[in-house]
Each structure stands twice: as C-alpha cells, then as structure tokens.
Amino acid sequence: MASAAEAMRSLQMVAHGDGVSRFNTLVQDVLTVLDQENMEGFDEQEPQAYIAFLIAALRPSVLKVTIQAEPKTTSKRPVQGKFTGVRGLDQAPSVIV
C-alpha cells in the first residue's frame, strides 16, 4: 500500500472540461494506478482509503475543503413524516392508454 500511496501523491484533477468529466478522469487515473500496483479491488476492500486518495487529488482547494467537511454536516436521522412526492400528490401514477 505504501507504493500505491506514493503513486497517488502525484495525481491531480485536470483543469479543463466540465466537473463530471474532470472527476471521471480522476477516478480513471486512480484505478490505473491501482492496476499498476496490482491492487485490483482495493476500491471495494478499502473504501475509506480509496475515498481519501480521491479527496487528496481534488482541485481547487475550496472543493477539497467542502468535500472533507460535508460528511461531518450530514444527518443520520431518518426522514420524518410521509413523503408525498411533488406538491402533496400521493396517489399512484395514472396509466395513459
């Protein structure tokens, strides 16, 4: 794992393209490094370490700070009340014939 961590330090999110394609490129780069280090399946076996590698490579730094803070601000409480969909509609969808 030490050699993979060393290789991950050089990864950075690309600066061009839309956010989704930039992130997909980063994920692909991380998976390529894991393949080169013969660590296939690491993303499933060690998900926290995998996410830490991704967060470390995020750019700009404002995004990185937001992503690191987000798990701390989310609530684990179950949703209270009945979800009724859009503007109180709670009936089954109608079938158009």
Secondary structure string (H, E, C) spanning the chain: CHHHHHHHCCCCCCCCCCHHHHHHHHHHHHHHHHHHCCCCCHHHHCHHHHHHHHHHHCCCHHHHHHHHHHHHHCCCCCCCCCCCCHHHCCCCCCCCC
pTM, to two decimals:
0.52
- Tell me the per-residue pLDDT of 40-91, one tens digit each, with 9 for 90 and over: 888 888 888 888 888 887 766 656 666 677 665 555 666 555 544 445 444 4
Instruction: Check pLDDT > 80 for residue 4.
Output: no
What is the pLDDT, as a whole number, of residue 94? 47
The string of pLDDT tens digits covering residues 9-33 is: 777 777 767 778 888 888 888 888 8
